Amino acid sequence: MNLFRSKPQPQPPPKVPSDEVIPLHSLDDQFYTRALVLHFFSRFDDVLDPEKLRSALDRLLHLGGWRKLGARLRLN
């Protein structure tokens, strides 16, 4: 019986050649932020232009530091 034996470290999933690693800030990888769920609702009285919205989001994702917004996150 080995009381002080640590649990084996989980192995990360294999990297797929098309994977692109985007490092996260250390504050993005805290216990309390993993448990956080944020709901954000906006009300607009006029019809929004979908092409303007798509274009604005596309520009935002190309700015430095915002690419993680459109990323698929994987816990290693």
DSSP 35: S
Query: In this structure, what DSSP letter does residue 65 have?
Result: T
Q: pTM (2 decimals)?
A: 0.50
CA dihedral (66, 10, 34, 37) in degrees, to 10, reads: 90
Burial track 55-70 (b if 16+ CB lie within 10 A, e otherwise) = eeeeeeeeeeeeeeee
pLDDT digits (tens, 9 = 90+) for 17-39: 888 888 777 887 788 877 788 88
Show me where the domains of the chain are located.
Answer: 26-70
Q: Lowest-pLDDT range, 5-9, 15-19, 30-34, 49-53?
A: 5-9
